[in-house]
């Protein structure tokens, strides 16, 4: 006999856990189905271990370059297993928050197993049938593996395996120049590997503001990372125990290959056709309310494509939960979605690029660009690489912002707050503590008045006449 719930969540990653926790605290009867471990990619293979490894690699880089500040030491000896061990320890520290015991304590029935829909209102797990007033699919995504000849037989790493390495590869080729490839590429390089990044585009991080991505690319090249641009891996062979990649007419010989070329939604085993749920190229198709083509089934997180970030999955989870448990009136609003790539320098973005803004608003676009070299705290920390760039209309409406430099992922939030509350760029020009890095935002915000004044000859003439008149007394 089928068990009836208020809501059944399929997938225990970032989005699914938010739905399950909130629904249980609202006193709904909740079932959470997960085929592996609670926590999803973010905890086990994504945000948590990657930022931990990045931190270890930054420490190594700082030690190596300490002489720049008059601090002399021996070149660092890197025990790679301890660097990845730090990542695993951080996972272990955070995991109890995502544990089955915690969720069962909240009143969630946690069910482990592979499941599928058997009709439009029933989900079956290992012979147990679950029915509900609403379902939420949050099964996440997995690495997309490119169809490169010989890649599978040669073997490769993905983000699902790389954080378990115990020995540092002397050389690594990374297929893909997006955030995952760039973050891990710089980390491996700083921890002592020789790194080659294979980019199919003319520059790394192709979804970012081009001049911001170029700052990161130049830093990579200064650190000795080899970047092959407009190049695709064509073939992989094993030669004398090494992996040889043929790409762009070159042969690259490495110890390991890391594939970081996009993501695929986890939908194949769910039998969605029977449930009346349609799937597109990017993932499950949903409307503004995050309903699938079966109005009783919602989907959120990576499985629907779109913005594949943990913070967006959490936001979508709240929209799906509200609609699924109560009335389907809430709509997902993606007007202000920030994200960051945690390379060094960091790159953070919210809203439109300069090109997108000009295509939409024509001549009514102002670009406010403040270099970190003009921020005293950045000078004090010898971190003057990069800039803050805010894109506005003439009335001060913020259309987008792009920060590349020290702590960009933290500094972007002041702009996000302003955009979320529809504040003009002048709101950023208030008093900021001196000296802090956040002055990059206030200094950029001031540039709109300066640029408009420079264009307003009438105002300049009137002020000149006014001060001439004052001096005559």
CATH of the domain at 363: 3.30.390.30
User: Does the residue 228 lie in any domain?
Assistant: yes
Whether residues 166 and 123 fall in one domain: no
Residue 454 contacts residue 377 (beta carbons within 8 Å):
no
Whether residues 10 and 138 fall in one domain: yes
pTM value? 0.94
Do the bridges between strand 256-259 and strand 263-265 make them parallel or antiparallel, or are there none, so unpaired? unpaired
User: Does the residue 466 lie in any domain?
Assistant: no
Q: Which helix (H) or strand (E) holds 298?
A: strand 297-299
Of 209, 233, 262, which residue sits at a domain end?
262
Of 221, 245, 262, which residue sits at a domain end?
262
Check residue 389 and give its pLDDT: 98
Within 13 A of 278's CA, how many CA atoms are on the CB side?
9
User: Does the residue 468 lie in any domain?
Assistant: no
Nearest of 187, 180, 252 to residue 223 by alpha carbon: 187
Whether residues 299 and 364 fall in one domain: no
> 87 vs 45, 141, 183, 473, CA distance in Å?
10, 21, 14, 72
Whether residues 139 and 274 fall in one domain: yes
What is the rounded CA–CA span in Å between residue 296 and residue 276?
Answer: 10
What is the rounded CA–CA span in Å between residue 340 and residue 287?
Answer: 26
User: CB atoms < 10 A from the CB of 249, how many?
Assistant: 7
Whether residues 214 and 356 fall in one domain: no
Number of structural domains (the chain) is: 3
Taking the chain, what is the end-to-end CA distance rounded to the nearest angstrom? 97
Within 13 A of 419's CA, how many CA atoms are on the CB side?
23
Alpha-carbon dihedral angle through residues 75, 77, 82, 83, given to the nearest 10 degrees: 40
Whether residues 139 and 212 fall in one domain: no
What is the rounded CA–CA span in Å between residue 235 and residue 151?
Answer: 7
Whether residues 384 and 447 fall in one domain: yes
User: Does the residue 212 lie in any domain?
Assistant: yes
What rounded mean pLDDT belongs to the chain?
A: 96
Check residue 111 and give its pLDDT: 98
Whether residues 350 and 363 fall in one domain: yes
Query: Which residue's structure tokens are 């950029």?
Result: 444
Residues β-bridged to residue 243:
238, 254
For the chain, 473 residues long, the average pLDDT of each consecutive 10-residue run is: 89 97 98 96 95 97 95 92 95 95 97 96 96 98 96 96 95 97 98 97 96 98 98 96 94 97 95 98 97 98 96 98 97 97 98 97 97 98 98 97 98 98 97 98 96 83 82 78
Q: Which helix (H) or strand (E) holds 210?
A: helix 210-222
Residues β-bridged to residue 117:
123
User: Does the residue 344 lie in any domain?
Assistant: yes
Whether residues 360 and 452 fall in one domain: yes
Residue 424 contacts residue 394 (beta carbons within 8 Å):
no
> 454 vs 66, 129, 242, 390, 398, CA distance in Å?
43, 70, 61, 18, 20
State the CATH number of the domain containing residue 20: 3.50.50.60
Whether residues 123 and 138 fall in one domain: yes
User: Does the residue 465 lie in any domain?
Assistant: no
Residue 427 DSSP symbol: G
By three-state DSSP, how is residue 133 classified?
strand
Please give the residue range of the domain that contains residue 181: 151-262
User: Does the residue 408 lie in any domain?
Assistant: yes
Check residue 1 and give its pLDDT: 61
Q: Is the dihedral of CA 161, 164, 166, 170 positive or negative?
A: positive
Q: DSSP E strands: which ranges in 338-469?
A: 338-341, 346-351, 366-371, 387-392, 398-405
User: Does the residue 470 lie in any domain?
Assistant: no
Phi then psi for residue 179, to 5 deg, are: -55, -45
By three-state DSSP, how is residue 470 classified?
helix
Do the bridges between strand 171-175 and strand 256-259 make them parallel or antiparallel, or are there none, so unpaired? parallel
Whether residues 256 and 276 fall in one domain: no
Q: Which helix (H) or strand (E) holds 433?
A: none
Check residue 464 and give its pLDDT: 78
Whether residues 293 and 159 fall in one domain: no
Check residue 42 and give its pLDDT: 94
Residues 6+ apart with CB under 8 A from 55: 86
Of 274, 304, 325, which residue sits at a domain end?
325
């Amino acid at each position: 006999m089928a068990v009836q719930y208020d809501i059944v969540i399929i997938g225990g990653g970032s989005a699914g856990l938010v739905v399950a926790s909130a629904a249980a605290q609202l006193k709904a009867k909740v079932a959470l189905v997960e085929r592996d471990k609670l926590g999803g990619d973010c905890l086990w293979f994504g945000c948590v271990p990657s930022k931990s490894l990045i931190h270890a690699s930054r420490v190594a880089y700082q030690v190596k370059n300490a002489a720049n500040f008059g601090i002399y030491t021996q070149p660092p000896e890197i025990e790679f297993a301890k660097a990845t061990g730090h990542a695993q320890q951080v996972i272990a520290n955070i995991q109890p928050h995502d544990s089955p015991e915690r969720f069962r304590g909240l009143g969630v029935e946690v069910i482990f197993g592979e499941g599928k829909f058997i009709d439009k209102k029933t989900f079956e797990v290992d012979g147990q049938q679950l029915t509900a007033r609403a379902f939420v699919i949050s099964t996440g995504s997995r690495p997309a593996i490119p169809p490169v000849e010989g890649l599978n037989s040669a073997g490769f790493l993905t983000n699902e395996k790389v954080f378990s390495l115990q020995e540092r590869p002397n050389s690594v080729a990374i297929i893909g120049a997006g955030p995952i490839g760039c973050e891990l590429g710089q980390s491996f390089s700083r921890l002592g590997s020789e790194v080659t990044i294979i980019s199919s585009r003319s520059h790394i991080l192709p979804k970012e503001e081009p001049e911001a991505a170029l700052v990161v690319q130049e830093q990579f090249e200064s650190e000795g990372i080899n970047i092959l641009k407009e190049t695709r891996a064509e073939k992989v062979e094993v030669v004398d125990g090494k992996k040889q990649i043929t790409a762009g007419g070159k042969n690259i010989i490495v110890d390991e290959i890391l594939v970081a070329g996009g993501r695929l939604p986890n939908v194949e085993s769910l039998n969605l056709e029977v449930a009346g749920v349609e799937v597109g190229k990017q993932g499950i198709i949903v409307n503004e309310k995050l309903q699938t083509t079966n109005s009783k089934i919602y989907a959120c997180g990576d499985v629907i494509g779109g913005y594949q970030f943990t913070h967006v999955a959490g936001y979508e989870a709240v929209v799906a939960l509200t609609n699924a448990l109560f009335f389907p009136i809430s709509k997902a609003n993606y007007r202000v979605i920030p994200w960051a790539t945690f390379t060094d320098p960091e790159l953070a973005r919210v809203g439109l690029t300069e090109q997108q803004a000009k295509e939409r608003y024509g001549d009514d676009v102002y670009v406010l660009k403040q270099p970190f070299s003009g921020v005293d705290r950045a000078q004090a920390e010898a971190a003057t690489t990069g800039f803050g760039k805010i894109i506005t209309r003439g009335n001060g409406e913020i259309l987008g912002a792009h920060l590349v430099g020290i702590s960009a992922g933290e500094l972007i939030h002041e702009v996000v707050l302003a955009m979320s509350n529809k504040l003009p760029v002048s709101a950023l020009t208030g008093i900021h503590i001196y000296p802090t890095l956040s002055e990059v935002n206030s200094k950029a915000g001031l540039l709109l008045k300066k640029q408009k004044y420079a264009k307003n000859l009438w105002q300049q003439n009137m002020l000149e006449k006014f001060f001439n008149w004052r001096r005559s007394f």
